[in-house]
Each structure stands twice: as structure tokens, then as C-alpha cells.
């Protein structure tokens, strides 16, 4: 086991292994991005970032380039220690995902209402010139969940839709009532890069914050609040539903061979799920604070999880 830490007990907003698995990048709550050399445990590069209420995210484009979402969408050339602005401004809660080929970048906002400025929804950029692709069908009102299949032929995104109104009642006898908007929470699966929607799953009950395809592309895992759902895309049916009390899932990641799925749920425990039975296979409890994100190394041999106390733990998957 290896532990990386910052001096201040601030949350780790996002983590990502480099494509070669030799380094780990993290956006830290002290407003610094760090890139650790995992062989030595030393910080190879760091950069100070601006504070924003819109949150942070990052994704590797290749071994030496990181895309960072904060006050602006920017590219960090790690080797040259040089920053380039892709686009200014910061939609609320921007989440980022690079396609497996590195040719495209998907951006989504974390919409919480369809009735006020909810950001641009799903945006797809070409990474050679950062031009936007034409708007895809059903791209509005994203909720944060976004994932590419390993072969890059599918893209999944979470959305919310206003489906009318429902009545709420207040008082012992329910003698005061008023109308509130009623929402449906959806996941669209699209052909990529064409963008045509080839499947939609509903009934998520809460915004879908995290999505991941199994390596073979057959299953789609997603989290919505305290719920973990697994969908068999070939059979078009739900194969598993788990609820973790009141704890909300904060992240999920498949192993490289697809045998297991790992999740964290705003507590100190990592849960490993067997993808044959979709039951809990093993747990790891790390006393580093509440775990907020999780990632497998590209070779599938190591797992990393970041906490709310400025620490990242890395351990062997076996």
C-alpha cells in the first residue's frame, strides 16, 4: 500500500492515473494540481489553480498532457510546464472525459434544475483543434455522469427532464398544497462520434453522477445518490440494483479484465463487486477519511482512492 498526502487536510477533488500507469495526478483542495511519480512517491510537477464554486475535474489526454476544468477549460503540458486555455468560463460542475483514442473530449455539466441556466449540457470537442462537434440529439440538462466504451464506439451520459408537476402538501392535515416540478432522470447511450441515441434507461430517481462501461462494452454501471445500477446493454435490462443506506456513491471503476467493479460511497470503505454475480466480493477499509473518488491503473493491477482529508491511498488490486 502507498499513501500520498498534502499538508492541509483538504478534499481530493479528482484523481487520474497517467496512461502509462507510472504517475498519478490529483486536483487537491489546497488549490494545487499535483503529479506524483509513483515509483518514488515524489511530486514531479505541481501547479496552482484558481478557486471556483463550480468544482474541478481533470483527465489525461496522453502521458504529458492533462485537460483541467476549473475557472476555465485548460490544457497543461506537463513536460514543458506550460498552460493553454481551450475556452474561458466555467459551466456549473463541469465533468470531463477523453475518448480512448484521445481524439475527442466530452464535457458535461451537473444540472440540478431545468428551469434556470443549466449550462450547455453535453459538448464534444476535437482535441486536434478544440473545435466543437455539432450538437448531438438529447444533449441538454446533463447531470454529471459521462463515459466512453473502451473501443470508443459508445458514449453514455446522464440527463434530467421536466415531466410536469406534482403536488406537495404541508400541515398536519395536508391543508396547504402547492405544485413543484417533477423530473425524470435518464441515461442516453449514443453511437460515437455520430451521436445517434441507440438506448435510454430511465427510473434512476436521482441525478446520475457516475457512469462506466465494462471493458467488453456489454454492461453499463451507474450511480444515482445511494443507488448503484447495472444495465445489460445487449439484453436491454437491469441486472443489479444496490442501495447503500443514505450514503451516496462518489465514484466507480471497472478492473481492466472486467471481473470486478469498485465503488466508493463517502465513507472509508472501498467495495469490490463481482461482475458475474453482481454481489459484493471484497471490501477495503482505509482510515484516511471519507473516500470521494476511485480509479484503476491502466494495467488493472493497482487501485487509487482520494479522500476528504488530503490523502490518496494506492494498493494492489489482488
pLDDT tens-digit map of 237-281: 999 999 977 788 899 999 988 999 999 988 889 999 999 999 999
Q: Which residues constitute the domain of residue 35?
A: 2-316
- For residue 55, what pLDDT is reported? 82
Q: In this structure, how many other beta carbons lie within 10 angstroms of the beta carbon of residue 156? A: 27
Query: Which grid cell sits at 174?
Result: 395536508
- For residue 90, what pLDDT is reported? 62
- For residue 254, what pLDDT is reported? 93
Give exposure, 122-151, as e/b (b: 16+ Cβ within 10 Å): bbbbebeeeeebeebebbbbbbbbbbbbee
CATH number at residue 288: 2.130.10.10
- For residue 162, what pLDDT is reported? 82
- For residue 99, what pLDDT is reported? 96
Q: How far is CA 182 from CA 17, 206, 223, in A?
A: 39, 11, 20
Long-range contacts, 128-135 (Cβ 8 Å, 24+): 128/103, 130/86, 130/87, 133/104, 133/193, 133/195, 134/195
**What total number of domains does the chain contain?**
1
Query: Sheet containing 176-191: which strands, arranged edge to edge?
Result: 142-148, 154-170, 176-191, 197-201
Report the Cα 161 to chain-centroid distance in Å. Answer: 20
Give the torsion through C-alpha atoms of 316, 18, 108, 216, to 10 deg: -60
- For residue 179, what pLDDT is reported? 61
- For residue 73, what pLDDT is reported? 93
pTM: 0.90
Residue ranges, the chain, pLDDT below 70: 90-92, 115-118, 164-169, 171-176, 178-181
Amino acid at each position: 500500500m502507498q499513501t500520498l498526502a498534502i499538508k492541509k487536510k483538504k478534499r481530493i477533488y479528482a484523481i487520474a492515473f497517467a496512461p502509462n500507469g507510472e504517475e498519478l495526478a490529483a486536483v487537491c483542495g489546497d488549490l494545487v494540481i499535483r503529479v506524483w511519480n509513483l515509483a518514488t512517491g515524489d511530486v514531479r510537477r505541481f501547479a496552482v489553480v484558481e478557486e471556483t464554486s463550480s468544482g474541478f475535474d481533470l483527465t489525461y489526454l496522453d502521458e504529458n498532457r492533462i485537460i483541467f476544468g476549473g475557472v476555465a477549460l485548460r490544457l497543461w503540458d506537463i513536460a514543458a510546464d506550460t498552460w493553454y486555455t481551450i475556452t474561458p468560463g466555467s459551466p456549473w460542475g463541469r465533468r470531463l472525459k477523453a475518448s480512448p483514442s484521445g481524439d475527442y473530449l466530452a464535457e458535461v455539466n451537473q444540472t440540478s434544475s431545468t428551469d434556470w441556466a443549466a449550462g450547455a449540457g453535453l459538448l464534444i470537442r476535437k482535441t486536434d483543434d478544440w473545435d466543437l462537434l455539432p450538437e448531438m440529439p438529447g444533449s441538454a440538462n446533463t447531470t454529471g455522469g459521462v463515459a466512453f466504451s473502451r473501443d470508443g464506439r459508445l458514449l453514455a451520459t446522464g440527463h434530467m427532464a421536466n415531466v410536469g408537476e406534482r403536488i406537495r402538501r404541508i400541515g398536519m392535515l395536508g391543508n396547504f398544497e402547492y405544485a413543484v416540478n417533477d423530473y425524470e432522470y435518464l441515461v442516453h447511450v449514443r453511437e460515437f462520434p455520430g451521436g445517434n441515441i441507440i438506448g435510454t434507461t430511465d427510473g434512476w430517481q436521482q441525478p446520475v453522477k457516475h457512469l462506466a462501461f465494462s471493458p467488453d462494452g456489454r454492461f453499463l454501471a451507474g450511480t444515482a445518490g445511494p443507488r448503484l445500477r447495472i444495465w445489460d446493454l445487449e439484453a436491454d435490462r437491469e441486472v443489479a440494483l444496490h442501495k447503500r443506506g443514505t450514503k451516496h456513491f462518489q465514484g466507480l471503476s471497472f478492473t481492466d479484465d472486467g471481473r470486478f467493479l469498485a465503488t466508493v460511497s463517502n465513507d472509508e470503505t472501498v467495495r469490490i463487486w463481482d461482475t458475474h454475480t453482481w454481489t459484493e466480493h471484497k471490501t477495503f477499509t482505509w482510515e484516511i477519511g471519507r473516500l470521494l473518488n476511485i480509479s484503476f491503473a491502466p494495467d488493472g493491477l493497482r487501485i487509487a482512492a482520494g479522500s476528504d482529508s488530503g490523502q490518496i491511498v494506492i494498493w494492489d488490486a489482488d
